[in-house]
Amino acid sequence: MKNLTFAEKIARFVVNLNYDDIPQRVIKKAKEQILGVLGAIYAGSQTLPGKIIIKTIKEWGDREEASLIPSGVKTSVRSAVLANCSVGVALDYVDYLLSGHTGISAVPVSLAIGEKLESSGKEVLVAQIIANEIEGRLGTSVFIGPQNGQCWSYIHLIGGAVAAGRLLNLNEHQITNAIGIALSQSIFTILRGFMGPHSKLFTTGIPSQLGVQAAYFAMNGLTGAADIIESPIGFCSLMADIPLKFMVTSALGDAWVTDTICYKLYPGCAYIDGMADCILKILEKNPSLNPNEIEEIIVYSSILTSVMNDLAIPYADLDHIKKEQSHVALNFSIPYNAAVLLIDKELTPKQFTEERILDPQVHELAKKVKIVNDISTSMDILEALPSIQIPNPKDIIAGKFSLKDVNLEKVKVGFGAKVKIKMRDGTVYRASQKTPKGTPGNYIPLERKYRQEATAINLPQDKIQNALTTVESLEKLQNIREFIYNIILS
The length of the chain is 490
Helix (H) or strand (E) holding 422: strand 417-423
Which pLDDT score, from 0 to 100, does residue 32 have?
98
Q: CA neighbours within 13 Å on the CB side: how many for 94?
A: 31
Bridge partners of residue 433, in order along the sequence: 417
Which pLDDT score, from 0 to 100, does residue 171 have?
98
pLDDT in tens, 96-107: 998 899 999 999
Task: State whether residue 456 is helix, strand or coil.
Answer: helix
pLDDT in tens, 105-164: 999 999 999 999 999 999 999 999 999 999 999 999 998 888 888 999 999 999 999 999
Q: pLDDT category, 380, cuts 50, 70, 90? A: low
Cα–Cα distance measured from residue 187 to residue 182, given in angstroms and rounded to the nearest whole number: 10
Q: pLDDT category, 69, cuts 50, 70, 90? A: very high
Q: pLDDT category, 393, cuts 50, 70, 90? A: low
Judged against a pLDDT cut of 90, whether residue 94 lies above it is answered with: yes
Q: Tell me, which fold does domain 6-260 have in CATH?
A: 2-methylcitrate dehydratase PrpD (1.10.4100)
pLDDT in tens, 166-192: 999 999 999 999 999 999 999 999 999
Task: Give the domain ranges of the chain.
Answer: 6-260, 270-375+415-433
Cα–Cα distance measured from residue 181 to residue 135, given in angstroms and rounded to the nearest whole number: 16
The fraction of the chain above a pLDDT of 70, given in percent, is 95
Q: How much is the mean pLDDT over the chain?
A: 94
Residues 6+ apart with CB under 8 A from 334: 271, 272, 275, 299, 301, 305, 309, 369, 371
Pair 163, 109: CB distance under 8 Å: yes
Beta strands 369-373 and 294-301 are parallel
Which pLDDT score, from 0 to 100, does residue 386 have?
47
Mean pLDDT of the region 70-81: 98
Q: pLDDT category, 289, cuts 50, 70, 90? A: very high
* Angle in degrees, 0-180, between the axes of helices 6-16 and 172-183, rounded to the nearest 10: 130
Domains 6-260 and 270-375+415-433 share a fold: no
Domain 270-375+415-433 part of CATH 2.60.40.10 = no
Helix (H) or strand (E) holding 370: strand 369-373
pLDDT in tens, 293-304: 999 999 999 888
Mean pLDDT of the region 342-355: 97
pLDDT in tens, 225-247: 999 999 999 999 999 999 989 99
